[in-house]
Amino acid sequence: MEENAVPATSFEHSDHDDLGIVVGTDGSEISYQAVMWAAVEADMQGCPLHIVTSYANPIVAGATEQNPHDRRDLRQRGQQVLADAARIAAHAVPGESLHIRTELIFDMIIGALIERSRRARLLVVGNRGLGAIGRAVLGSVSTALARQAHCPVAVVHGVSETDLASASKPVVVGVDGSANSVPAIELAFGEASRRKADLIAVQAWSDTGGFDLPVMGWEAIRKTQDVLLEAALAGYAARCPEVTVHRVVSSDTPVRALLEEAENAQLVVVGSHGRGGFAGMGLGSVSTALLHLAQCPVLVVRRPSQTRAEEPAGQ
């Protein structure tokens, strides 16, 4: 591992440090937008922003080790990526309130970010990008991190300064009645509170395409499920009375129901796995679909027990 030589932001850390919010960047436009989003989030949470990039070559393993000149060139490009990212973060949060750290590594980015997620509050990446300094990797990075990270993962699909400045749109959370959606509900209330935004809680009934056919007795089903949804949210609503909550019970699939609400949202929060509606659709499929299809940032939350049970051997 090597630290970036940017005096204002480089740092040394111990294994016990809270890294705050960690964001991976690769020099692509979408990854810089992820940095901007992460900077604002870190400022709202009052924690450091830790920016990471890698100059490892995932295509030809060991090639840069055999050619010191190539490795120096990649390292210089990585340093420039970090310097640019730090400037973008500082511009997104004017003043001295945000503590920005940068880190330049020569490790494969997925494993490096998963390891750092052990000490992070939140991990942020773009939904696509160049990968490790100029190579197509980040699209797979976002999916891998959502499945394996030890902290919540935010995947940014594109955000502008205008979006950040006018954060009046609601936060959307997917609720499926399972224990796996509970951490997502809790985190969504916190996000809505910090952003002074309304919260839309979406519960979907159908786990099939539906072919837009009406559901027999739907109004009675909707009322029953709305009561259950209200009960699932009650404790969090009592703790965050400043958050205005809107409940949506949909006869559509979870993906389509959440995508519809996401069209006018600033953030969608989902669990990484779950029951879907009440008919068996895995929320793992839902979260994966949202990572690729939603136009606003998507925050995927995993239960601690999931992290331990699904951790790959050797991690």
The pLDDT, as a whole number, for residue 10 is 37
Residue 314 or 160, more confident = 160
262 and 196 share one domain: yes
For residue 181, give the CATH number of its domain: 3.40.50.12370
Where residue 158 falls among pLDDT bands split at 50, 70, 90?
confident
177 and 140 in a common domain: no
- 226 and 260 part of one domain: yes
Residue 18 has pLDDT above 50, yes or no: yes
Is residue 15 included in any domain, yes or no?
no
The reply to whether 34 and 155 lie within a common domain is yes
5 occurs within a structural domain: no
In a domain, 9, yes or no: no
Task: For residues 107-133, give the mean pLDDT.
Answer: 84
Tokens at residue 279, please?
């008919």
Q: Average pLDDT over the chain, rounded to whole?
A: 80
- Is the model's pLDDT at 293 over the cut of 50? yes
* Residue 267 forms part of a structural domain: yes
Tokens 């090639």 appear where?
Answer: 63
Enclosing domain of residue 271: 167-310
10: in domain: no
CB within 8 Å of 19: residues ≥ 6 apart:
13, 48, 50, 101, 116, 119, 120, 121
* Angle between helices 68-92 and 29-45 in degrees, nearest 10: 50
**Tokens 């959502």 appear where?**
146
Residues 102-112: what's their mean pLDDT?
A: 91
Is the pLDDT at 144 greater than 60? The verdict is yes
What does the pLDDT read at residue 147?
A: 85
Per-residue model confidence as pLDDT tens digits over 236-254: 999 999 999 999 999 888 9
Q: What is the pTM of this model?
A: 0.82
Do residues 301 and 174 share a domain? yes
Give the tens place of pLDDT for each residue, 194-215. 999 999 999 987 655 544 555 6
pLDDT value at position 168? 82
Model confidence over 26-41: pLDDT tens digits?
999 999 999 999 999 9
Q: Residue 247: what residue type? A: R
68 and 120 assigned to the same domain:
yes
Residue 276 lies in a domain: yes
Looking at per-residue pLDDT, the higher value among 188 and 224 belongs to 188
186 shares a domain with 102: no
Is 174 found in the same domain as 302? yes
**Residue 132: predicted pLDDT:** 43
Q: Is the pLDDT of residue 134 over 60?
A: no
Examine the fold and report which residue of 120, 136, 161 is the final residue of a domain before the chain moves on. Answer: 161
Tell me the CATH number at 57: 3.40.50.620
Does residue 261 share a domain with residue 152? no
Which of 141, 253, 241 shows the shortest CA–CA distance to 189? Answer: 241
| 31 within some domain | yes
Q: What's the pLDDT at 235?
A: 92
Residue at a domain's end among 146, 161, 176: 161
| Domain shared by 175 and 136, yes or no | no
Of the listed ranges 116-120, 211-215, 222-226, the least confidently predicted one is 211-215
**Quick one: pLDDT at residue 71?**
80
Q: What is the pLDDT of residue 159?
A: 72
> Do 57 and 184 share a domain, yes or no?
no
What is residue 264's predicted lDDT score, i.e. its pLDDT?
92
**Domain end (from 135, 161, 187):** 161
Question: Which tokens belong to 172?
Answer: 């959307």
pLDDT at residue 268 is higher than 70: yes
Find which of 13-17, 81-85, 123-127, 268-272 is predicted with most confidence, using mean pLDDT.
Answer: 81-85
**CB-based burial, 207-224: b 16+ in 10 Å, e otherwise:** beeeeeeeeeeeeeebee
Is the residue at 12 inside a domain? no
Q: Are residues 138 and 176 in the same domain?
A: no
**How many domains does the chain divide into?**
2
